[in-house]
Structures are given as structure tokens and as C-alpha cells.
Structure 1
Amino acid sequence: MDALQGIVDKDQQIVDVLNQTARKAQTTSVRLAATTTHLESTGRDDRNLTAQRLAELQNETENLHQREKQQLAKQRDLEAEVKEVKDGYLVRDGLIAVLAVLSVGLIVALWRRK
């Protein structure tokens, strides 16, 4: 009878160990499921954040290109304006030179008449 009780006790120990192992496995499974859910959520959030940041960078790049085009157009306009002013100075200086020569010529002509 003691031998039979020893077998029953040993069987009970084995069942207890199996139950404890099953509980640990269940707990580990729940933790893994929670971790997986968290990682999936984090992954989605990261993808969304990355997509949003990429869109912002693309918009910023487009804005920079647009500003660059505007600056180039402004620079071309200013260069054209500088050219006009220089051309105006050339005409003005030419007129001054012609008037100076004419004035000298008139002074010489008046001086010779006297």
C-alpha cells in the first residue's frame, strides 16, 4: 500500500509540475502576444511618422526649389536692370563727350571770329 501511495504521490508531483509548466507557458504566450501587439503598433506608428516626415521633407524641397526659381528670376531681372543702367550711362557719357566737343568747337569758332 505504501508503494501504491508513493506512485500516487509521484504522479501528483508530475501533474503539479506539468500544470506549473502549462501556466508558465500560458503566461509566456500572453506576454509574447502583448509584445507582438506592441511591436506591431510601434511599427505602424514608425511607418506613419516616417511617411509624414517624408511628405514634409518633399514639401520643403519643393518650396526650396520654388524659392530658388524666384531668386533666379529676380537675379535675372536685376542683371537686366544693371545692364540698362550701364547702357544709359554709356549714352549719357557719349552725349556729354559730343556736347563737350561741340562746345570746344563753338568756343574756338567764336575766338577765331574776334
Structure 2
Amino acid sequence: MIDATDREFKNIPRQILNDSRYMPYFKDCIGAIDGTHVDARISPEKKVRYIGRHGVTTQNVMAVCDFNMCFTFIMAGWEGSAHDSRIYKKATREPCWNFPHPPAGNFKKIT
């Protein structure tokens, strides 16, 4: 299972805490989100939905990494034609996907 090591996100990562360029702007940041397209082999009847902007069949995959470059969330299987924002909205707005939201005001400094 892919999950955050500190599911309650109680600590500000050292990479942010000890760098004045990032504090206080990213003090509540828990990681980075990015999407990528992965080559896909799709049955002919479903193929059109999976054709991405470069004209090949792909799956659009969203991944979240923490500051240790460990995956904390992955959402795969979306059609290549699906926009990144559509996947993000689905993952963050529906509790069943278990997206790693940081609790508001729950951080403490790591010294």
C-alpha cells in the first residue's frame, strides 16, 4: 500500500523549515503532485478515449511524493484524454480515494 509515513502530517519537513526561501510560504506543503502519461494497450472499442494529445493511446497517472521522494498517493487508469485537473478534483473531493490531505493547523517544527 502506498501511504504517507506520517499520516497526520504533524511536522514541517526540514527541507522547508531550514530554508528561509521556502518558509513560511510552503510550511503547510506535504509534497509534490504531478501527472504523467503511460503507454497503454487498449481494446479497439475503448481506444478513442485513451488517445492523448500526441495521438497515441496512454493512461493519465497522477502521483504525489513527499519530501523524501517516496510516493504517498497514486491514481492510475484514467484515459489519456482526461485532463490533469479532472483527475485531481476526483482524487481530492471524494473521500473514498483516501487522498493525503494535511489537517489544518496541525504542524509543529522539527528541530
Q: TM-score range by the shorter chain?
A: under 0.3
Give TM-score, length-normalised by structure 1.
Answer: 0.17
Q: Rg bigger for which structure? A: 1
Q: Please identify which structure carries the higher strand content.
A: 2
Q: Please identify which structure carries the higher helix content.
A: 1
**Greater RCO (Cα-Cα under 8 Å, separation 6 or more):** 2
